[in-house]
Amino acid sequence: MLEQMKLAMLAHIPVIYIPTDQMELIHEILYSDNTIDSLVPRVKYDSEKKAVVKLADKEYGVKDDEKRTFSSIKDNYLIFVNSIDSDVVRCPSILLTYTTKWDKVETGIRNFISDYMGMKRSKDNNPNPYHVANISRSLCIVVTPTEQVIPENIAPYVMTVRVPALLDEEIEAVIASEFNAESMDISVLRRSEVLYSQMIVSLRGFSVLRIRQLLRQMIASQSIDFNHVNADAVLAAIRVSKKQMLENCNGLKWEETNATNAAGLDSISKWLEERIDIFSDPERAAQCHTDIPNGLLISGIPGSGKSLMAKTAAYKLGLPLISLDMGALLNSLMGESEHNMINALRMSENMAPCVLWIDEIEKGLSGVQSSGATDGGVTSRIFSTILTWMQEKTAPVFVVATANNINQLPPELLRKGRFDEIFFVDLPSQKEKENIFSIHLQKNRQNVSSFALDILAQKAEGFNGAEIEECVKEAMFTAYVESQESNIAPKLQMIHILDAIKNTVPLSKTMEKQITDLRKFAVSRAKNASKEIVLENRMEMPILLTRPELELERSFDSVLSEKDSNSNNI
């Protein structure tokens, strides 16, 4: 970072923008001897001579009235909060402002740039040469806790310097130094190479200060002591710290994962189980030149358990689950929506390894084709950002996207490389419906053996998982009402569930045509999420084309028909 700041001064760039919440790092960079020697001239303002004079070689530190020395921090640094005032500059200085939003300092920055360029005039319409000389050798630094869009009118004069993430070697060095400071042997931690590898990967994106605080917390809580390391407690502490980092990030939310199984989605579960070892031991996977999976796209009928499968995926892989709400990223200001998406994706990389869940992705990307005419191209630019990130990301972020209507998704998103696999979730089979009834009866603390699950599954023809769950809930409510009327303990019976099924019209009837079209579209484009395929789905179905595919087919037909007409004329 210091080198980039030096380059900015040599290139006469007046303003440096550093988006970071690591104030301790800014303090270390600015107030180190190297910065004082290289960024600003070692000068001070002598009030007696009323001039800028050079400091002695060792003349910096705390002000000492007896020795008549001056603190270079006092003379060479001007600190502001949510403001900037270049009029107070009396010698070449670093003007540092810490703000939450650019609009709070925009006017002050604009005035500083005017001074820097010699555009600000005095009463006699001439620039003050003394002031210009000081400002032109100064540097303005703007720090915000999160990255924001730089106002257009000052963007050409601003250079953005991002705090680089710590390398694995640097993380290891921080851990080793903290163990030495606590007089502990790091070999205690390295006894389990798998845990040590997981810990290094999980600490990516953390600052030096945050890692040190986290290690001290682990030592204080005895998760790490002189002879033993509690692996579960160590990884749990890192997750809690990551959860706190997400609290102020727009569009991202930490999700709890309690699900262990999604009934009827055996093919997806098997696919995930085959890849668990890659996430549990990433170092070994890297040594074997095995890439970490990119993610899954789960499409299918509404209420079939797609969202539940996303939570189950995180649980099976042993990773934190973070949901991305694309609607929360939209902003009325030009460029802010795209910036919010970039920040969210960057934060998800800081959370790695993790599962990034994008629910109903087709809703967030709706209108991509007409984006230029409807929203000024915001949706298409956000979509482009997602595509590039999914293709180029190196952090172990496993993306799980769900979609009710895969037909609405742009073809660019469906090609191999974006997602490792695309699964289609259909209506559950007879056996799967029995399992779903069993799960929800157990949830409501009922004795499953008291119910004829095969009969319930037969009666629930065309029901999806969500509808079966609601039938059990409705039956429980009916049993509760009856118990209040007869003043007895509530007892769920078969008749209660059968009545609830009878009074429910499943989605497969109300949206029969749409569901049939979904099945036809997915038959050649996605794997079935279930091992058991419903009998009616085994029939050969015509393949439906997307809108771009239809347009391409029509263009080919027109070209062929034109050739045929030309040949007939000959």
pLDDT surpassing 80 at residue 254: yes
Two structure tokens written together for 185: 């042997």
Two structure tokens written together for 52: 């800028």
Two structure tokens written together for 437: 């009834």
Q: In which order are the strands placed within the sheet that holds 295-300?
A: 252-255, 321-324, 354-358, 397-403, 295-300, 421-425, 527-528
Q: Average the pLDDT over 259-283 and give the result.
A: 78
Percent over 70 (pLDDT), the chain: 79
Residue 357's pLDDT is 92
Residue 17's pLDDT is 92
Closest of 305, 513, 299, 302 to residue 406, by C-alpha: 299
pLDDT classification of 536: cutoffs 50, 70, 90: very low
Residue 64's pLDDT is 45
Residue 4's pLDDT is 79
Of 348 and 373, the structure prediction assigns the larger pLDDT to 348
pLDDT classification of 8: cutoffs 50, 70, 90: confident
> How buried is 335 (Cβ within 10 angstroms: 0-12 exposed, 13-18 middle, 19+ buried)?
middle
Residue 535's pLDDT is 38
Closest of 113, 155, 154 to residue 135, by C-alpha: 113
Residue 372's pLDDT is 58
DSSP 3-state of 316:
helix
Q: What interhelical angle do 465-486 and 430-443 show, nearest 10?
A: 40
pLDDT surpassing 60 at residue 257: yes
CA–CA dist 530, 567 (Å, integer): 51
pLDDT classification of 356: cutoffs 50, 70, 90: very high
Residues in contact with 90: Cβ distance below 8 Å, sequence separation at least 6, in sequence order: 45, 52, 134
Residue 540's pLDDT is 43
Distance (Å) of CA 514 to CA 305, 397, 407, 414, 521: 18, 33, 11, 20, 11
The model carries a pTM of 0.70
Lowest mean pLDDT among 14-28, 44-58, 305-319: 44-58
CA angle 67, 73, 76 (to 5 degrees): 110
Q: 522 near 424, Cβ under 8 Å?
A: yes
pLDDT surpassing 60 at residue 428: yes
CA–CA dist 32, 183 (Å, integer): 27
Q: Is the peptide bond between 127 and the residue preceding it cis, with omega within 30 degrees of 0?
A: no
Q: 327 near 362, Cβ under 8 Å?
A: no
DSSP 3-state of 356:
strand
Distance (Å) of CA 510 to CA 428, 447, 458, 502: 17, 33, 19, 15
pLDDT surpassing 50 at residue 377: yes
User: Average per-residue pLDDT in the chain?
Assistant: 78
